[in-house]
Structure 1
């Protein structure tokens, strides 16, 4: 493994800001998971479990970013032994890319689930994928980890440490193929499902329904669609950051700036995810309000 130290061209204040964002992501998503856990079991639908897994993947990604994009920690790793640096590099990269992969797969599953509810509501109860959603999530998490572990652990050469964490000096062919193919397939599934679902949503709007099941389905579909678009937009600065790192002759400020834009966007995405879910889910806001009312009602009794 080649270990090369790249001078940090970005102020430490920016690094601290990103770490704070990742910390907030973890806290917000965990609090949100606790609130979701308080929902009645009758309301724990397939959509509920998809939201739970999206937020768990956001927590995993934020933890990975905290270790991957950490100037102080990376400098300590660089000054450690060869074996320690190599183990740290491989483990953190596997964890990070597993979180990327699970997000892709969960969004594909979420898109398919909303497509079935919107376009084929009569087949929901008999759909084998939705009836075995738990198995699907296990396959996604375990399969993503295995794929990323095999791809990354077999190509640990030519990595360097810099302000963007661990960066490849050369592309890892097996990782590029595996991740690229999986991302393309999941993106295609999402686009296909949303293309068909969007036409059905337009029909719902023309029916001028303002409440009931139609409104719930539309809101949930709009939320997943928004998160899907925001998530895939995050790949633009990420891909540019990796490509710029391979191109010689570019300004170091341009390379570092692109990397940190990607890093900052990724750290902000999970918070936006939680905020969007709260704003776009009226029933969830009512549930949070009822929890606060229960807490305020219990508090005086406890002080007696």
Structure 2
């Protein structure tokens, strides 16, 4: 029975075990922090009425999904098990995993695009917020994004790749025309929307600062705008090493080992992004930071009271 093949016959499955373990740890940390973040956010009753709140929830949900997907993507246990499968089964798994990876990456891109658009409407055209159909039907917009991304990537990747083999992180092979088109569409469109909206938001924030017109009512919107601007830039910068490696490798300017290192830097950067996202939000949002510290303080106080009551219990003479 024919087995799956490695793209580089001199390599081995799970070649960089230490990097695999670091990546797995980062993904687990991101998943845990984002679950806690969603729980804490859900306790803010007033925030649930805002579009920005639901965008933040969707950002955390996509970070959880991306971390879980990336965990499977570079899992030594999974890769070794798949490598032992018959070639047809291994190829089907690799196609499906690649489709899922592209889909959830595209979904996160679109969520950031909507976050950028929401900040653009809120800061640059505040009088149009109430009549904005996309933001008023945010739930349906998000549902459409999830369905479209998975609906386009799975058929394209499952049917339109040839000469599949094990690469460093996922499958490698010859992409068909429809596959290239779908990938470019799902990754380019949200990037264009994001950078267009963020540029306008940045320009408007700059004008507000120059006019020194920061009123109490608009301060919260400005902080949210800076937060979205920062996390979007951080997200796209995490891809810089991988893009650089792809370009330099295409022109044969760097060795294969350097390409692998740059790819790993990019993968680890994307894995830690979900954690940095939470840290940045907590540091920039005073109200939420106070909310978190209050809950932590109450939890520790209850724990100390419980510990004190247990230690002061007098044992029964019969014991």
1:215-230 counterparts in 2 under 5 A?
215-230=219-234
Please say if residues 71 and 165 of structure 1, whose CA atoms lie closer than 8 Å, have aligned partners that are also in contact: no
What is the rounded CA distance, in whole Å, between the counterparts of 1:131 and 1:47 in structure 2? Answer: 11
Change (3 A) 1:243 1:74: farther
What is the rounded CA distance, in whole Å, between the counterparts of 1:281 and 1:249 in structure 2? Answer: 44
Q: 1:178 aligns with which of 164, 172, 182?
A: 182
1:1-304 counterparts in 2 under 5 A?
3-5=4-6, 6=8, 7-8=11-12, 10-162=15-167, 164-208=168-212, 212-242=216-246, 251-299=255-303, 304=309
- Matched position secondary structure for 1:213: helix
Once the two structures are overlaid, the 10-residue window that deviates more, 208-217 or 27-36, is: 208-217
Change (3 A) 1:130 1:39: same
Shift of 1:117: 0.5
What is the rounded CA distance, in whole Å, between the counterparts of 2:37 and 2:20 in structure 1? Answer: 26
Deviations 1:47-77 (A, max 9, x none): 1111111111111111111111123421221
- Matched position secondary structure for 1:67: helix
What is the rounded CA distance, in whole Å, between the counterparts of 1:169 and 1:90 in structure 2? Answer: 10
Please say if residues 2 and 159 of structure 1, whose CA atoms lie closer than 8 Å, have aligned partners that are also in contact: no
Shift of 1:147: 1.1
Please say if residues 111 and 224 of structure 1, whose CA atoms lie closer than 8 Å, have aligned partners that are also in contact: yes
- The higher-RCO structure (CA 8 Å, 6+ apart) is 1
Deviations 1:175-227 (A, max 9, x none): 22112123222222122212222222123213435662322111111111111
Please say if residues 169 and 245 of structure 1, whose CA atoms lie closer than 8 Å, have aligned partners that are also in contact: no
What is the rounded CA distance, in whole Å, between the counterparts of 1:240 and 1:171 in structure 2? Answer: 20
- Matched position secondary structure for 1:3: coil
Shift of 1:85: 1.4
Change (3 A) 1:236 1:172: farther
User: Of the two, which has the highest radius of gyration?
Assistant: 2
- Matched position secondary structure for 1:199: helix
Shift of 1:11: 3.6
Taking structure 2 as the reference length, what is the TM-score of the superposition? 0.86
What is the rounded CA distance, in whole Å, between the counterparts of 1:20 and 1:80 in structure 2? Answer: 27
Aligned length: 303
What is the rounded CA distance, in whole Å, between the counterparts of 1:31 and 1:42 in structure 2? Answer: 16
Shift of 1:268: 1.5
What is the rounded CA distance, in whole Å, between the counterparts of 2:47 and 2:20 in structure 1? Answer: 43
